[in-house]
Chains A and B, each alone.
Chain A
Amino acid sequence: MFEEKVLKKIKDDKEKWEQGPLGKSLAKSPEAKPVFTTISGTPVERLYTPLDVEDLDYERDLGYPGTFPFTRGVQPTMYRGRYWTMRQYAGFGDAKSTNERYRYLLEQGQTGLSVAFHLPTQAGYDSDHPLSMGEVGKVGVAIDHIDDMRVLFDRIPLDKVTTSMTMNAPAGVLLAMYLAIAKEQGVDWAKVGGTVQNDVLKEIICRGQYIYPPRHTMRLTVDLIEFCQKSVPKWNTISISGYHIREAGSTAAQEMAFTLADGIAYTQACIERGMDVDSFAPRLSFFFNAFTNVLEEVAKFRAGRRYWAKVMRERFKAKDPRSMMLRYHVQTGGVTLTAQQPLNNIVRVALQTYATALGGGQSLHTNSYDEALCLPTQQAVTVALRTQQIVAEESGATDTIDPLAGSYYVESMTDRIEAEVDEYIKKIDAMGGTLSAIEQGYIQKEIQNSAYRFQKEIETEERVYVGINKYTMEEPPPTGLLKVDMSVGEKKAAELKQYRANRDNAKWKAALDKLREISATDQNVMPYVIEAVTAKATVGEICDVWRNIYGEYRPKEFV
């Protein structure tokens, strides 16, 4: 970007500055720390100049929004066209109370829904299964069958909202219910938009909601992608997630690297199924975290966009530019929140929201300030949503596209993160690919080591965490926390008994038998899952069909 003559002068002048004003200042009073690092542990220099980006080629490395390599953004107008989708992840208790929260959020200006399911549904158990005891309705809504799903979307038109479902191993089952409800509402599947997470690899890496062994669960993932490509064209068939990798302790660069490694594995699996890359890749979506170090986060997002575009074009020979776009949802960092002085979390979330806006995300969930204590209360959820609205409509971050481009620091950090991602991807390729790297525990161990390093930094007070190791104070215990009482579980168990007793048994059995038969072949299971949920099969019953065929995943623990 700079002429050699100019660079030479900058280099000379920088040396003069170092020996002159800087040297004098340091002699008088040294800096606060010998080394400065980001929250990921990446060293940060005192000053960035054109010398740090001397290899940057504007047209090659940055280009224009909506065009390869998408460093500056995936759409030509970005937030000048429309803001990101404000999508708050919500769900608790039974379908009725969650439906009320959804309608409240939509009235408050939220623009998309995001379903939090309780753990039994995520792990493929009905609410009355022994392993579900104590968990029913706790961290999400209890959905066992199609009748629950109907209540969940009562008075919410599925052609007007888009819905994201955090559902992985049983993703096909919940998507089947959603599509069946859309049909009941008279909504054409061509108009149904939304996302299922469907990212089983990161469940195995760090989130823990796995059911089947890696290679079998991948088959169900690909079935869903293939089915939607033909029948639900606007659906985002997967949300390849770095969010949980970061929550588990990774650095920013590891988050991007391991997520893109998973993305490569899914793309490869779809191609092996016989799908053309440009037929499914435009519907792949991603999900990342946003921490409080705004500049590092912005660099991470920009590096990820550029790297993924190259992977798709060079490695997978995609031709459609839409296949090369890293489109992603963001959630602010849950693990960055403190139980101590919880109102401070509002500030953290605001900075993380700002990072998302400057980084070019397509949708966002902002955490509530009370989430280190409990499920979010209505007041806290409202503040979280307002935080997004303030950043979008007051801060000015949305007025121009990729406003930090050209910053010597941000460009240098973008290059650095991209290089680190590339190094990890090459290492994982050399190990035989993502699945092998996971099976060997490599990715898990890398994440755990970073988590350990961070914890040590906090405990040795090498890194400041406000309210944890600095500026601490005595506080009264918090009050007014949201709790889900145990009676939801009892009610749900009684209701399930009735549900099973009242269905057409012959129809139900035939549908499950057919699903069992198809699941043992190479045929796509999705049409038969839709038949099964319509015939009133429950989440647990359908997941059991696959448990019996594919077995269950039992991880080796890598501590």
Chain B
Amino acid sequence: MITLRGVTWAPDGHRVLDSFDLSVELGRITAIVGPSGCGKSSLLRLLAGLRPPDAGVVTGVPARKAFVFQDAALLPWLTLRDNVALPGRFGPIGDVTEALARVGLADHAHKLPAALSGGQRMRGSLARALVARPELVLLDEAFAALDGLTRASVQREFLALQAEHAWTVVMVTHELVDAVRLSDRVIAVGGPPLVVKADLAVPFPRPRDPAAIPPLVAALEAVYAA
């Protein structure tokens, strides 16, 4: 269990967290939804340990972490293989070739990111997360830049990897449908400073029955309409 107790955090002078409490179950997917600018991405940066909190305690954060960002955040001057191998410059990693094959990019290893499609770049970003052998994976609007069909297939890929490696995932998104479709629990937030407006369990097995999603989305929309 990852636990934040009474956490206050002002990384750039702005207080994004103020006596904030939260607990996240290990091995599960927790989605944080909320409007842009409410401080939800800052929560990911805090969990990543980029800077310690100014007050309060954060416990139970796994040592091995990976980030996946909206526009894949690959280095444009490195080939896909070198991008996926990047975490290896800083510590031990898994097999790069295997990770590329796992996300279906074995034949694209020598290409620069500019020569890849948006979906391929995002798969590369997943492979880069995969080789770092993370216990905690932080997704920051990871699927937002993808078109509908690509998004669905990358998300399937992501769910398979999560199940295979029992990743603890905290994903930030403003897509309510994505949050409900992918996660085990949706936390609706507002702010800044960050406040929890609703905390919903999503108790359905995967793959999710499409009919089960709209009622939960409606419930989340109601939180923000109020």
The finding on whether chains A and B are genuine partners in a shared complex, rather than unrelated, reads no
Which B residues form the contact surface with A (CB < 8 A)? none
Which A residues form the contact surface with B (CB < 8 A)? none
